Structure 1
Amino acid sequence: MTLTHRSNLTVFAMVALGLCGAASAAAAQESSFGCAGLEQSSLVRAEEGKDGVFYRVATDLTMGQIINHRAADAVARIARALEEQGTTLIFAPVPTKGQAMPEDLPSKFVTTGYDVEKARAEYAVSIENLRASGVVTADLLTRMLDTFDPAEVAKYGTENTPLFFRSDYHWTSEGARRAARAVADQIVEHPGYGDLTPSSYQTRQVGELEGFSNMRRAMQRQCREPLPEVETLGFETNADTTPEQDDAGPLDIFADAEEQSQVVLLGTSFSDNPTNNFAGWISQYSGLEVLNYAVTGGGQYGALISYLTSQDYLEQRPRFIVWENPIYTDLLQFGTGPVEELTAAASAACSDPLKVTATSETLEAELGGATFDTDDAILARFGSEGPRNAEFTLVTTDGVSRRYFSNRDDRLRATGNFWLGLGPYVDLPIESIKVAFDRPIPNGASLSLCPNFGE
């Protein structure tokens, strides 16, 4: 009997389905924790590797996560604006768990097409693109994979500490230590470091620390046995001055000194995590005070928006800003709006107050059909902290309205300062601008023109 082409496909499909079913059953049987269906979970898609190490499918085991030239240029715009104000931006892209800790990957995993060496090469391309755009960039992955200072590793008792938690995607204190060394290298090698007076910092162990993990909690629902705890050896870093100051607590505070801040750390939960001492490790290796303004759950730009739009930045600009950001986040996910606002906020060049008509709900200024350049912006200043939303409405001379909505979610600091970059509205004759906040407008609220902020 001769099988037709259709029959061949049918048989192949049946065999394939059978193999997939067998593979799924085998995967469930091979789980050390009785886990099933993690790869298809609606909470967190994950793969169970060796020794109880779990990897997220969508980030840790996905190819093509590259900061391309366009995204690198966006970071460079913010960096140039900061540099004009005497602040050097150091960008620190966090590698994925798959790139930095692949030794525990399962020998056969459901996610196909993942290649460790190619994924590492993609991280290297991201570093190259950022540096080609003029951004001072810390290569965290190279430092994390380096076997530097064996004596130092032994000193901190981290010989057997993995770089990332087994059941979570964040780095342990050892992963953070190595990443911080990469950041400190960039700080110390920068010419601006010579303008500062470094101090001596000492780091001491504080015992085992346990962190909370949404990833572990989500995975546990599909596993019979308890998953590995999110635990790491904890550390605390303090300035090595007097015995009284040695007990002052970990170096993770907000700026309140009168002199220029040395280093401000902006980032995500990788920085805003008390179990890893990332800010402290940067101080350990750079000799500089690090003020931590990181925001857990703030996304790509949350910490930058909270800090650069605040009076803390306007009144006391630091010598260095470290921007930690996971490599897998899309810096242009929300278009150019955040970059426009952050570039304008970083330059703080809003010297032209506009004559406004104010009501309890809006501020409005007549612009008389003016046109603007790419590097112009409007600053809407509420006058105090509190508002989380500002709606800008631009009306052209022919009566067409353009609206832009700026939001600060509950995780971010509600500074009351909102910038609208006018780059997307170049050459439009603007008759008027109106701004509405999410609360009644007090006396003292204002609109200002920020000219040529990107130059």
Structure 2
Amino acid sequence: MSRTFKTLHVALFIAIMLLTSLIALAKLGGYRAPKHPDLLDGELTRNFEHYYDEQFPLKQAGINLWAALEYLAFGEGRAGLVIGEDGWLYSDEEFDPVANGQRQMRDNLALIRGVQRQLEERNVHLLLAIIPAKTRLYPEHTGAHHPSAQQDSLYPRFHSAVREAGIAAPDLLGPLQAGKQQAPMFLRTDTHWTPEGAEVTARALAEVVRSAVQLRGEPQEFVTETVETRDHEGDLTSFLPLAPLFESLLPRADRLQQRETHSAQDGGGDLFGDSDLPVALVGTSYSANPNWNFAGALRQSLKRDLANHAEEGQGPLVPMLKYLQSDELKNDPPQLVIWEFPERYLPMNSDFTEFDPQWLASLKGNGEQQKLAASSR
């Protein structure tokens, strides 16, 4: 970028800030503080903020204008977003190396092995569903952006480590790569997969299960139906605050086929009427969010009902640790636990403050970190 363009960019920014500051100062003349405000609990501050938000209509316009300038001039959004080509948006978590990622990877691998041991003690099989990154499945849309060496090697290292530890983790990249020839496997403007991607993954996992485990109970038929096809505002568009003034600059919305799965016998009754469920699903928003219908696709492919213990916004480790301590596992253990685990979470830190540190340390086990570290290399 030339020095002249940079100068114009700075000058425009200063002009916008000056104009909006003058308008803000003019609006301050009408402010009336509450009588006898309590200064200790922040009442005066909250009152002023409320007045500012109501009386300063250019606040949102300023946000939109600056976002449009960043987007058009530099091809950038807010921190956390990577803008690819052809309307594709990505999370920077799939590109940037994680600080202390190697150490955290060793800790997380040790926890994964500890989870396997805990389930083995209850005669429960563990199937790890490692979800490939969006950048790995759709590298052709990342443009000039490329994942770091750490991120690029993450998927094969993850598989190598759990394979050495004797944990079943089928390769899901191949089926998803084949599936994207027929339908989108991930959403362009979202971090998540499509219902079609969830269905392809469910079929691949069910094939592995059928060859390894004889699930108890009689097979059940489940039916999946498309209830509506609608525009979907991807979670990554929140990093481009262009609406409402410059909404037309946003990448076109994804088209989402909303699906629902129900039992063929009862025509959509209670899926959880049978307490003796042979399968439990644990994971992230890939499994918890009904938009993707991953749990429903698994029911149909496995021909068995399941209990869904996935949670949104917690990552893959915290929901699993909660499940290990749950009454459901203690009183009604399933035959099989499917653990959905996006690859990008392996080197990431998690909030374990609600768990006993001594229990976490015992879960990792003596020597497991060193063993898994060696296998991950």
TM class by shorter-chain length? 0.5 to 0.7
Look up the match of 1:199. 220
Matched residue type, 1:54: L
Matching residue within 120, 140, 153 for 2:172: 140
TM-score if structure 1 supplies the norm length? 0.56
Cα gap change, 1:17/1:89 in structure 2, threshold over 3 Å: closer, same or farther? farther
Matching residue within 229, 240, 256 for 1:208: 229
Task: Report which of the two has the higher share of helix.
Answer: 2
Measured after TM superposition, the shift of residue 38 of structure 1 is: 5.5
Look up the match of 1:49. 85
Matching residue within 159, 169, 174 for 1:127: 159
Task: Give deviations 1:209-245, integer Å, cap 9, x for gaps.
Answer: 455643212224386524332431122222222xxx1
Matched residue type, 2:359: G
Matched residue type, 1:55: Y
Within 2, Cα distance between the matches of 1:48 and 1:18? 26
Matched residue type, 2:259: F
Cα gap change, 1:114/1:72 in structure 2, threshold over 3 Å: closer, same or farther? closer
Cα gap change, 1:95/1:267 in structure 2, threshold over 3 Å: closer, same or farther? same
Cα gap change, 1:214/1:234 in structure 2, threshold over 3 Å: closer, same or farther? closer
Secondary structure (helix, strand or coil) at the match of 1:231 reads strand
Matching residue within 75, 78, 97 for 2:112: 75
2:268 is the counterpart of 1:247: yes
Cα gap change, 1:206/1:200 in structure 2, threshold over 3 Å: closer, same or farther? same
Within 2, Cα distance between the matches of 1:307 and 1:88? 14
Are the aligned partners of 2:132 and 2:172 in contact in 1 as well (CA < 8 Å)?
yes
Map of 1:342-357 to 2, 5 A cutoff? none
Look up the match of 2:135. 98
Task: Give deviations 1:55-104, integer Å, cap 9, x for gaps.
Answer: 22x22334688995664343122112102202111111221111112232
Measured after TM superposition, the shift of residue 324 of structure 1 is: 1.0
Are the aligned partners of 1:143 and 1:179 in contact in 2 as well (CA < 8 Å)?
yes
Q: Structure 1: state its 5+ residue gaps.
A: 1-15, 25-30, 151-158, 339-405, 409-417, 425-455
Cα gap change, 1:112/1:331 in structure 2, threshold over 3 Å: closer, same or farther? closer
Look up the match of 2:369. none
Within 1, Cα distance between the matches of 2:112 and 2:281? 16
2:185 is the counterpart of 1:185: no
Secondary structure (helix, strand or coil) at the match of 1:145 reads helix
Are the aligned partners of 2:285 and 2:313 in contact in 1 as well (CA < 8 Å)?
yes
2:247 is the counterpart of 1:257: no
Secondary structure (helix, strand or coil) at the match of 1:178 reads helix
Are the aligned partners of 2:81 and 2:239 in contact in 1 as well (CA < 8 Å)?
no
Q: Percent identity?
A: 22
Matching residue within 341, 360, 364 for 1:325: 341
TM-score if structure 2 supplies the norm length? 0.67
Matching residue within 229, 232, 242 for 2:256: 232
Secondary structure (helix, strand or coil) at the match of 1:81 reads helix
Task: Give deviations 1:165-185, integer Å, cap 9, x for gaps.
Answer: 111111011111112222222
Within 2, Cα distance between the matches of 1:113 and 1:295? 27
Within 2, Cα distance between the matches of 1:203 and 1:262? 20
Are the aligned partners of 2:215 and 2:278 in contact in 1 as well (CA < 8 Å)?
no
Measured after TM superposition, the shift of residue 266 of structure 1 is: 0.9
Cα gap change, 1:258/1:34 in structure 2, threshold over 3 Å: closer, same or farther? closer
Measured after TM superposition, the shift of residue 285 of structure 1 is: 1.5
Matched residue type, 1:285: S
The count of residues paired between Structure 1 and Structure 2 equals: 296
Matching residue within 191, 198, 201 for 1:176: 198
Task: Report which of the two has the higher share of strand.
Answer: 1
Cα gap change, 1:419/1:68 in structure 2, threshold over 3 Å: closer, same or farther? closer
Secondary structure (helix, strand or coil) at the match of 2:174 reads helix
Within 1, Cα distance between the matches of 2:127 and 2:189? 30
Measured after TM superposition, the shift of residue 121 of structure 1 is: 5.6
Are the aligned partners of 2:133 and 2:343 in contact in 1 as well (CA < 8 Å)?
yes
Within 2, Cα distance between the matches of 1:19 and 1:164? 40
RMSD: 3.6
Within 1, Cα distance between the matches of 2:177 and 2:290? 23
Higher RCO, 1 vs 2 (CA within 8 Å, ≥6 residues apart): 2
Secondary structure (helix, strand or coil) at the match of 1:92 reads strand
Look up the match of 1:285. 301
